[in-house]
Amino acid sequence: MSTPSTPQTEKPPRSDGDGRAIPAAIATLVGLLALAAALGVGHLLAGFIAPQSSPFVAVGDGFIRITPPFLLEFAKSTFGLNDKLVLNIGMGAIIALVAVVAGLVSRRSSRPGRAIFMVLGLVGLLAALTSPVFELLGMIAPLGALVAGVGVFGWLHGLALDAAGGSAGEPGRDAADRGGLSRRRLLMSTAVTAVGAAVAGAVGQLRFGSGGIEDSRQAIGALRPATPVPAVPAGADFASLGTPTFITPNADFYRIDTANLLIPRTAAESWSMSIHGMVDRELKLTYADLMNRPLVEKTITLTCVSNEIGGELISTSNFVGVPLRDLLMEAGVQPGATQIFTTSEDGWTCGTPTDVVMEPDRGALLAIGMNGEPLPLEHGFPVRMVVPGLYGFVSATKWLADMELTTFEAAQSYWLKRGWGEKAPIKTQSRIDKPKPFERVDVGKVTVAGVAWSQHRGIDRVEVRADDGPWVVAELATEVSTDTWRMWRADLELGAGSHTLQCRSTDRTGATQPVERVDPIPDGATGWHSVIMTAA
Ligand SMILES: Nc1nc2c(c(=O)[nH]1)N[C@H]1C(S)=C(S)[C@@H](COP(=O)(O)O)O[C@H]1N2
Ligand SMILES: [Mo]
């Protein structure tokens, strides 16, 4: 009887429910509702205090920070521009699973579940504490979430235990009545928790909205550069044949950044930045200072280093801003200051080679506008950097907050620390936009069209071929500038069957794109784009 191997000894389980157990479905519900309460309260407090500290947001941002680059790459190449959405859904699923487990392991005692919610809360707190934009107030939302999670779990758990076989060990004529009462109380409480969590989350989200920043942006109105660009010449694109339009509408401009659920929000009125470090005179700038200078406009094609062969992380805009070189001349860059180290509102950092920005004809901008409008919020409002010819990760800091002149030895930027290149000029590339992969076209004359780019060098020639046949020189669209992409088109004679089309471009230095396929990391992909299609 007392041997250790005796099965099912009649020891009463240690519980706060006198042996009563919550049904699995109710336990699952208790776990999920406690989670909803935690996230709702966290989101609500964060909305009023410090948006970035909302536990869900902070954990997502933290996850992006600690994810090894190869995984980020995998996510980007697999899910493309939906990578953040996939992250958030995946994260939500994992947290929900933990909450369900917390409920299921607590069918008798609430202790394991409360412990799990404590740990979840601490993870949220840790994520907020380690954020590059952490401020002391940022502890309130995760702490509130922790208290709400543990508290609501304990509370609902107690009600669920009461409702579970409520009369166990309770003699009395009204046991059935009492059971019904506690079940109604549980039902009411779960409903109140669900509605409360949803309302709290929604109010928090409303506060996030644009937080008045869109108003600040609208108030600026249209930007009128002192030196506007001429109208885009006729024949600068082959949009009717399937290429993108020469200028990318702001809403279609590709977007890449480490910000996840929340983008930084600084009103133009409260923006200021200092150019400091290895300079003769520190230069302090406000948004009004920039607006009061003669604004220039420049057409620039921006490209992401992560763009795969044939990828779409490239767009063109008329950027409006102040020449960065002029500002640096005023500050007086000291010899040896090889790196312009910029930091965004959300703590992302970027290292740009000073010598490139100081080239008299480079045209780097401290930009405040795109296509005549103030920068859209997701493209860096109020102020960003743009440098023609350099990949975005070493040049295009959005939500600009700080600019320090330093050396490459003294400071390492966000992507450099993660194995990406130090200096990254955009590589000469080309892409076939039409026909689309696996498209069926009529046999005979087939028009192939696409884009090529070699920013700051310019495109000299594009060639296209089918099935390793002879290269056909494509007709180039009107050139707008060497800092922008160039569209092309060519006619090929194709017989019935499946064909592999390929293209390659040559820049003004005479260099032709190498055929060798190289991955985007560390400084940009190489290789020829090919498209398999059918003529029938
Ligand atoms: N603050 C901030 N700026 C950033 C980034 C970022 O993650 N955070 N990403 C850079 C990268 S990798 C690119 S390619 C460009 C993209 O700019 P876009 O989103 O306006 O197209 O922004 C750059 N500026
Ligand atoms: Mo990028």
Cα–Cα dist 338/278, whole Å: 10
- Domain shared by 258 and 355, yes or no: yes
Whole-angstrom Cα distance, residue 19 to residue 511? 79
Residue 1 has pLDDT above 60, yes or no: no
For the chain, the domain total comes to 3
In angstroms, how far is CA 400 from the centroid of its own chain? 16
Domain boundary among 399, 418, 437: 418
Same structural domain for residues 414 and 437? Answer: no
Q: 5 CA distance to ligand 2 centroid (A)? A: 62
Distance CA 318, CA 8 (A): 76
The predicted pLDDT at position 472 comes to 98
Among 395, 418, 441, identify where a domain stops. Answer: 418
Is the pLDDT assigned to residue 4 strictly greater than 80? no
3-state secondary structure of 417: helix
Nearest atom, ligand 1, residue 398 CA? 3
Let me know whether 396 and 467 are in one domain: no
What CATH number is associated with residue 518?
Answer: 2.60.40.650
Residues 317-331: tens digit of each pLDDT: 999 999 999 999 999
CA of 257, closest atom in ligand 1: 7
**Spatial separation of the C-alpha atoms in residues 408 and 400, rounded to whole Å:** 19
Residue 7 lies in a domain: no
Q: Looking at 208, 242, 275, which one is the last position of a domain?
A: 208
Ligand 1-lining residues (CB < 6 angstroms) = 253-258, 302, 304, 344, 346, 348, 379, 392-393, 396-399
Residues 360 and 449 in one domain: no
Tell me the average pLDDT across 203-213: 78
445, 403: one domain: no
Report yes or no on 161 lying in a domain: yes
Q: Write down the pTM of the prediction.
A: 0.84
Cα separations (Å) of 57 from 87, 146, 270, 526? 11, 15, 24, 35
How far apart are alpha carbons 367 and 376 in whole angstroms? 12
Q: Are residues 182 and 244 in the same domain?
A: no
Mean pLDDT value across the chain: 91
Residue 516 lies in a domain: yes
pLDDT recorded at residue 9: 40
pLDDT tens-digit map of 446-504: 999 999 999 999 999 999 999 999 999 999 999 999 999 999 999 999 999 999 999 99
Q: Per the domain annotation, does 6 fall within a domain?
A: no
* Rounded distance from Cα 519 to ligand 2 centre (Å): 14
pLDDT in the model for residue 301: 98
Lowest-pLDDT range, 62-76, 161-175, 513-527?
Answer: 161-175
Going by C-beta distance under 8 Å and a sequence separation of 6 or more, which residues neighbour residue 329?
Answer: none
CB atoms within 10 A of CB 317: 24
Asked if the structure places residue 215 within a domain, the reply is no
pLDDT value at position 238? 98
The pLDDT of residue 83 is 78
Q: How far is CA 510 from CA 384, 507, 525, in A?
A: 33, 5, 19
Are residues 190 and 144 part of one domain?
Answer: yes
Q: Is residue 3 part of a domain?
A: no
Residues within 5 A (CB) of ion ligand 2: 256, 304, 392-393
Q: How many Å apart are CA 428 and CA 514, to the nearest integer?
A: 9
Give the pLDDT of residue 533: 98
126 and 173 share one domain: yes
pLDDT at 170 over 70: no
Q: Are residues 458 and 390 in the same domain?
A: no
Ligand 1: which atom is nearest the Cα of residue 258?
7
The pLDDT of residue 187 is above 70: yes
Instruction: Judge whether 298 and 368 are in contact, CB under 8 Å.
Output: no
Domain extent at residue 328: 234-418
Both 138 and 28 in one domain: the answer is yes
Q: CATH no. for residue 274?
A: 3.90.420.10
The answer on 401 and 268 residing in a single domain is yes
Q: Is the pLDDT of residue 436 over 90?
A: yes
7-56 pLDDT, tens per residue? 444 444 444 546 789 999 999 999 999 999 999 999 999 988 888 889 98
Q: Give the pLDDT confidence of 349-365 residue by residue, as tens digits.
A: 999 999 999 999 999 99
